[in-house]
Structure 1
Amino acid sequence: MQTGHVTTPFGRRAMSLALVRSQMAIENPRPDARIEKWKVFRDVCEARERLGIQDRALAVLDALLTFHPQAELDPSQGLVVFPSNAQLSVRAHGITETTLRRQLAALVDAGLILRRDSPNGKRYVHRNRDGEVEQAYGFDLTPLLARATELALMAQDVAAERARFRRAREALTICRRDVRKLISAAVEEGAAGNWDHVEAEYVSILARLPRHPNRSQVETTLDEMELLREEVLNILEIQLKTEEVHGNAIQNDRHIQNSNTESINELEPSSGKEQGESLVDKPLTRDEAKEIQKTGREPIKAFPLGMVLRACPQITDYGPGGRIEHWRELMKAAIVVRSMLGVSPSAYEEACNAMGPENAAAAMACILERSNFITSAGGYLRDLARRSERGEFSLGPMLMALLKANTSGHLKSA
């Protein structure tokens, strides 16, 4: 097997068996072999990390290639360039001589160039009478030509790996967004399900992802997030099918009851004795039925009490005995907070009329939670009431933002 010439460095630069091995591994290129020098340079740039070289080394290699007069690397034209360190520094954007020496050594260790040192270590050339180069001492670019195919394949593999990594990150971003919004919609609209567990699993999956992950870690997280998305969709599918069955039954029941033109169902609200019980499924009262007939829109329904207390834990301190177990206790605590924050009775009454007493109390809990960022609690509550009357406001996003902030705070403190 023909191999490239093994050369030893001049002076105090040490020779190593690794350097011998790398030089012997470089086969002499065929006499007719040629490669466009800037194409192979682009391949080296693409495969920079795998070759173990830095950006400064690429700048030095770029400068070395500019001293090769031809556009192609052609062994018949000679592949040794012999610029001085001063000339190299200028073309390498003015890097210092110390940095230049270090990056030249890195290019040699990476097997991209060879040293052809003269007896005295200087870089120069011997020419014949016709001006043709007979012997040159400097840096040999032969490895770039000999490894051109290898470098091209390496660059293609790096580009493909980068594309796979980018697609994996994009897929994870979309899947993460899907899960986040599905959970928010389910909690906001009171869908049945253990959403606390789903939320905890969502946070846990993201917590296991490193700050600067590789492709394998991203794909593992993507697999876990896709499974969670399937679980959420299955829960919602069961919920929607159940609601559809119940809706058909209720529609049939109402059709029978509407045959009596003089009867109006007077449905009383449920007691809501258990902590966190949702009022979403509470039957309509006569006043609510009249409100729907008058305004054409259904009154805003309350969120689960447990969710409100998790999103706004500070309101618990103002409940009877420092605890809140029922909606009535939350509304009593909201009255105390209203007075403490300087919200006028009229502003709170407007909110109760616009949102309903439960949601008005929950809004006060949210305002208390963000009181450090709100200049006028009364003005803020009035604005929420006006937006609620126009159908432009929902407590859901506010509660979910506070719930997420509190969950993140607990994770950081842990």
Structure 2
Amino acid sequence: MAFEFSFAPEHEMFRRTLRGFLDEEIRPRIDDEFYDSEAFPWDLVTPMAEQGLFGVTVPPEYGGAGLGEIGYGILLEELAKVDTGLSTIVGAHTGICLAPIYLFGTEEQKERYLPPLCRGEDIGAFALTEPQAGSDAANIKTRAERDGDEYVLDGTKIYVSNGDVADTLMVSAVTDPALGARGGVTAFIVDSDWDGFEVSSKEDKMGIRRSTTAQIEFDGCRVPEENVLGNVGEGFIVALTALDGGRATLAAGSIGGATEALNRAVDYANAREQFGDPIAHHQDVQFKLAEMSTDITQARYATYHCLEYVEEYYEQIAAGEDVSKAFREKVSRRSAQVKIAASEMAAEVTEKACDIMGARGLAEGYGVEKGLRDSPIAEIYEGTNEIQRMIIGREVAQEGGYAW
């Protein structure tokens, strides 16, 4: 592969069209109307859905754009330049709800759920985390008891992005406690209008405020047998597969947020004069800008390279092919690596942008203070960076060193 990552013509066209739409229709409204609002931004989501931004990964036969994981990475990168909350909304919907339905769903499930999700008529969410099971996802307690041709769900899920507005959720629940996570957890497709489903609270967050986060209670929620996603007992594999892709595209979102911070800092440095010159002419500022640009470039190449692996991985699963254990582990490791690299880079770049802009970097309305509040979440959700380091370290030790 050449050092310069080469995008296909359809991806380049998608980026140009997307950037024009966001700059004309969405960015002005974020700055003027939604800067610090924590209400779900339906007035922004509706035009985004009309542009087909809620189903970019899915083939056209199910209502999607068929742009795959590279197109999805472009989408989250460009969205995060405008607002990380919007990229989180689309990420929770597409990467960890819609994607597993496409990858593991029956034909009936795909025909029923994918078209309205791709059109943005239905909003998707992913419910895995529980009060006692965050990084220790294998310790989930939500139960799904078999009762005839239904499963009865009881339990609590927390930190569910889109949870208060979702129509369709992918829910992980224990079906056989004796088998543990690798055989006793099953994934279910759950409709939010079913009896026994309740949004019990919403979080008031420091950052990503356009993305709403909810706690959900399942109290005797009856799920028909045909809504089991994948095979009974394979829910942990379904969740981990979705998260492998989610982490890589999350990295693309971090790159978008970092790029926006750099652009804001450059504009300010060229306009702000001290000692008779724009501060962009001062060596210490130039060094910061050079470091920021270099770090973004490195993370960007690694992320889109990883997304090529994810796309191949997902194509094999969708085609019903057997995926080798070695390739599955390689994708998990690569996605963990770019998640760490991009999320930590974004936090550092945003802090440097604030340093360059001084007091204005902390003032509302200039974009960088919002970035300071938004960027830390990427080091936490879809598996903390500490957990990612454990995954990488374990596999590198087993391989006896570094291997690409």
Give the structure-1-normalised TM-score.
0.23
Give the strand-richer structure, 1 or 2. Answer: 2
Structure whose alpha-carbon radius of gyration is higher: 1
TM-score by length of 2: 0.24
